[in-house]
């Protein structure tokens, strides 16, 4: 509790000071603190004048108009925090403070001690305040200083000497008080200025560090772009080089399978089927790897048109039926009603469904795979839900959040693969303004659901 008391007192003091500061001056930290210093200095500063004037009351035989003029001018400093609140800007109160303090120091010095006057130290303080608060108007500050010095010199010249209202030897004590008060006042301003300079130095160093980091990031970005371009060129060249021999292997193996079946060579036909399956699997891996950079670069063109969804699903089912049945699985296409026509990119839709059905057939053995399709909603909010359900190995719950990331593979995957199939499918679904969700339980199977709008908004350029 004892440690919190000073903090609470400081907070209350700051709140009291901020009451005088208008909202316009609280926008930036530098302006806000400059206004705070103005309020604090004009609350505490006049007390030093009270000490000097109080001493003069004791030593002066008669309190004349000079004394009361100094009292009025010094007392007016206490009104400046209120003037700041009413004026809603710092320029006018600061200008009045500077001019008044400069005049008081010159006026008091002329009538009380000349160059030995207790008022003279405040002449230097006035100059410092002028440049501090009116730094954007240095010539105005210099002009006001020159005018006061000229008036002081002219008065001295006309009078021929300084008026001696109080003997010089009696001003020595109050002179020491004045010097100490002016020193404390100047020290407060110097501490604040030192704080500002340190903060500015730290800020400049941070700016320098940020500029260096930004330069390094630009270089790294340029290198990354060059590497990405090199990768794209490499994949484009390798695409043809890899696909051509794989298609030849697949095509010739199919011809040889037909010959083996015609000659009743069951063992040879099975070996050839293994070669064919391996070739198709490798072709699918190559296709995933080559297709991912285009999707990541948003370089996939959408050809949106009306698609007969019933016919599309029938053709996809015919394409994947043999692939699914290789592991002893049964395959069913379940449609409760006619699905009609939707507006989408048929090629991308086929690619998504073939990926999902291929995964279901690969991870299911002696089970069943079902392709469900139905419409949901009406009008512009209508959607198509196409799900692929299997009774395969399932997916662990902790794996599902990262399932659609690049190169992610299920730990129990013994079938190989790049881990790109689901990532490609999800990104294609997003290009079609849809998404793929998954529900799964280990050893119970999985269900991947593709949700698409009935009408995809066509875009003229790449998606």
**Residues 127, 179 contacting (CB under 8 angstroms):** no
For the chain, list the domains and their CATH numbers.
4-166 (no CATH), 301-453 (3.30.565.10)
Least confident window among 13-22, 181-190, 356-365: 181-190
Question: What average pLDDT does the segment 385-414 reach?
Answer: 76
* pLDDT at 173 > cutoff 50: yes
pLDDT at 284: 66
- Token reading at 38: 């103005």
Confidence of residue 24 (pLDDT cuts 50, 70, 90): confident
Model confidence pLDDT, tens digit, residues 90-120: 889 989 999 999 999 999 888 888 888 888 8
Pick the closest to residue 394 from 439, 358, 443 (CA basis): 443
- Spatial distance between the Cα atoms of 279 and 306, rounded to a whole number of angstroms: 34
- Spatial distance between the Cα atoms of 107 and 400, rounded to a whole number of angstroms: 85
Model confidence pLDDT, tens digit, residues 278-297: 777 677 667 666 666 666 66
Question: What average pLDDT does the segment 336-356 reach?
Answer: 86
- Region for 375 from its dihedrals, namely left if φ exceeds 0, alpha if ψ lies in -120 to 50, beta otherwise: beta
Rg (CA), the chain: 44
* pLDDT at 50 > cutoff 60: yes
Instruction: Name which residue leads in pLDDT, 266 or 221.
Output: 221
pLDDT at 71: 92
Least confident window among 274-278, 354-358, 404-408: 404-408
* pLDDT at 78 > cutoff 50: yes
- Looking at the DSSP bridge assignments, the partners of residue 451 are 385, 435
Model confidence pLDDT, tens digit, residues 58-73: 888 888 898 899 999 9
Confidence of residue 373 (pLDDT cuts 50, 70, 90): very high
The angle that helices 65-75 and 91-111 make with each other, rounded to 10 degrees, is 160
pLDDT at 112: 87
pLDDT at 2: 46
- Spatial distance between the Cα atoms of 344 and 303, rounded to a whole number of angstroms: 8
Instruction: Name which residue leads in pLDDT, 361 or 379.
Output: 361
pLDDT at 400: 84
pLDDT at 129: 84
Pick the closest to residue 124 from 68, 179, 171 (CA basis): 179
């Amino acid at each position: 509790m004892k440690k919190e008391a000073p903090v609470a007192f400081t907070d209350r003091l700051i709140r009291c000071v901020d009451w005088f500061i208008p909202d316009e001056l609280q926008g930036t930290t530098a302006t806000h603190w400059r206004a705070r210093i103005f309020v604090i200095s004009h609350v505490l500063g006049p007390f030093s004048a009270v000490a000097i004037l109080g001493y003069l009351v004791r030593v002066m035989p008669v309190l004349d108009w000079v004394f009361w003029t100094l009292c009025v001018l010094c007392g007016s400093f206490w009104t400046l925090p209120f003037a700041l609140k009413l004026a809603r800007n710092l320029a006018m109160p600061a200008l009045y403070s500077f001019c008044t303090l400069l005049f008081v120091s010159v006026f008091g010095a002329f009538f009380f001690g000349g160059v030995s006057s207790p008022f003279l130290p405040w002449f230097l303080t006035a100059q410092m305040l002028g440049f501090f608060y009116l730094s954007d108007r240095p010539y105005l500050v210099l002009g006001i200083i020159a005018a006061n010095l000229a008036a002081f010199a002219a008065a001295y010249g006309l009078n021929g000497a300084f008026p001696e209202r109080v003997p010089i030897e009696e001003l020595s004590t109050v002179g020491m008080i004045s010097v100490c008060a002016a020193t404390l006042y100047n020290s407060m301003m110097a501490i604040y200025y030192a704080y500002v300079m340190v903060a500015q130095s730290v800020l400049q160093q941070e700016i320098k560090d940020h500029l260096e980091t930004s330069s390094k990031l630009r270089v790294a970005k340029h290198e990354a772009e060059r590497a990405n371009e090199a990768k794209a060129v490499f994949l484009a060249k390798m695409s043809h080089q890899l696909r051509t021999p794989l298609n030849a292997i697949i095509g010739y193996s199919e011809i040889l399978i037909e010959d083996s079946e015609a000659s009743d060579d069951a063992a040879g036909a099975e070996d050839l089927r293994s070669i064919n399956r391996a070739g198709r699997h490798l072709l699918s891996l190559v296709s995933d790897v080559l297709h991912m950079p285009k999707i990541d670069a948003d370089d996939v063109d959408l050809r949106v048109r009306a698609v007969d969804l019933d016919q599309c699903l029938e053709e996809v089912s015919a394409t994947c039926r043999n692939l699914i049945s290789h592991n002893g699985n049964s395959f069913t296409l379940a449609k409760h009603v006619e699905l009609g026509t939707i507006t989408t990119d048929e090629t991308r839709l086929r690619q998504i469904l073939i990926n999902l059905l291929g995964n279901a057939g690969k991870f299911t053995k002696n089970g069943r795979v079902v392709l469900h399709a139905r419409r949901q909603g009406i009008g512009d909010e209508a959607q198509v839900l196409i799900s692929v359900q299997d009774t395969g190995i399932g997916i662990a719950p902790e794996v599902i959040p990262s399932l659609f990331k690049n190169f992610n593979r299920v730990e129990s995957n013994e079938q190989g693969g790049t881990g790109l199939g689901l990532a490609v499918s999800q990104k294609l679904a997003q290009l079609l303004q849809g998404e793929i969700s998954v529900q799964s339980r280990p050893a119970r199977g999985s269900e991947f659901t593709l949700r698409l709008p009935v009408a995809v908004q066509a875009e003229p350029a790449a998606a």
